[in-house]
Amino acid sequence: MGKRIYSLVAAAVLGIIGTCAAEADTNEWERTYYLMADVSPVFFSLGKATTRHWNYYYEADAVQQLSAYGYLLVGWWAVSDIDTPNSRKHRAAMYESDPYAFYGYRLKFAEDWALNQRLGMIWVTFPGYRNEYRGVSDHSYREWTYNASVENPYVTPAVEIRVVDRLGTYLRTSLSHSFTVWEGLSLRPYLNAYGGSRRWNDARFGALREDRRIGNSLVSVRYGARATYKFDTGIAFSFDISGYDCVDPDGRAQVRERHRRGNSQRTDQLIVSLGVSYEW
């Protein structure tokens, strides 16, 4: 599966370069900024859910349009539980800080239809973390990432592929649709499926039972909806509610084994979060 994923990423690079010769969706050189903060009692990341602390998510993005040549996106994403009792000693806290940079191109090929592609790198870091995390002793690694979505008035399909240093290949596929409930209020139902290569699934969900090793497969799903109310000033408030299920039988066996050993990872979980954002 790993070789197939690399081939897909290479094809995506050629596709992005090729579309740059096509008619651009914008002829402007606009720049936009985005700030976000979320809070949730469940830590969810890359297809895995755990419940131990309150988690705080932060994100900051800057997007520079390049007229007929696509756009550049640079940003930073972080999650922490540093306000919990477990974090009296900061080095015992969960704290992840990830800067990233992407090049993207949005190709409009029909009325209200567009293919949006992004290719870039996420630099995953764990500042101050004492122990090895996922077998990475230097507390940081890279995720080469490709995203694509087909924007349309109906249901938007999307895919995300991450080739992760020493940890295999991650894959997310999704379906979503955003619509206006009334002026200022929008609702976005979604369905996400997560999986990856054998190496990634073992690193993510555990390889504790040799008789139940996870193969190259879909492992978990998340389904729910996010409601957002946006003011004219660019400030928005959101509420997200979703369900999470580990659907692979071998994955569920591994997660249950981890849980028996004291890990807070879940096979099924209700996830809620509250957020605020600002775009200008």
Report yes or no on 69 lying in a domain. no
Q: What is the pLDDT of residues 9-34, one digit of tens each?
A: 555 555 554 555 444 445 578 999 99
Three-state secondary structure of 212-273:
HCCCCEEEEEEEEEEEEEECCCCEEEEEEEEEEEECCHHHHHHHHHHHHCCCCECCEEEEEE
- Which CATH number is 189's domain given? 2.40.160
Q: What is the pLDDT, as a whole number, of residue 212?
A: 64
On whether the CB atoms of residues 96 and 44 are closer than 8 A, the answer is: no
pTM listed for this prediction: 0.85
Which region, left, alpha or beta, applies to residue 234 given φ > 0 means left and ψ of -120 to 50 means alpha?
A: left
**CA–CA dist 48, 101 (Å, integer):** 24
The answer as to whether 61 is a domain residue is: no
Which regions of 27-93 does DSSP assign to beta strands (E)? 31-40, 43-45, 48-50, 55-65, 71-80
Structural domain includes residue 136: yes
In a domain, 177, yes or no: yes
Confirm if 68 and 51 have CB atoms less than 8 A apart: no
Q: What is the pLDDT of residue 22?
A: 47
Residue 266 placed within a domain: yes
Residue 73 lies in a domain: no
Quote the domain boundaries for residue 207: 2-24+38-51+101-279
Taking 50 as the pLDDT cut, the residues of the chain under it are 17, 21-25, 88-92, 132-133, 135-137
Whether residue 65 lies inside any domain: the answer is no
For 153-182, b/e burial (b = at least 16 CB within 10 A) is eeebebebbbbbeebbbbbbbbebeeeeee
What is the Rg, in whole angstroms, of the alpha carbon atoms belonging to the chain? 19
What's the pLDDT score for residue 186? Answer: 98
Task: Look at residue 153 in the predicted model and tell me its pLDDT.
Answer: 95
Give the count of domains, the chain. Answer: 1
How far apart CA 93 and CA 235 sit, in angstroms, is 30
Domain-embedded: residue 86: no
> Which pLDDT value is given to residue 217?
82
The H or E element containing residue 7 is helix 2-19
What distance in Å separates the CA atoms of residue 123 and residue 145, rounded to the nearest whole number?
11
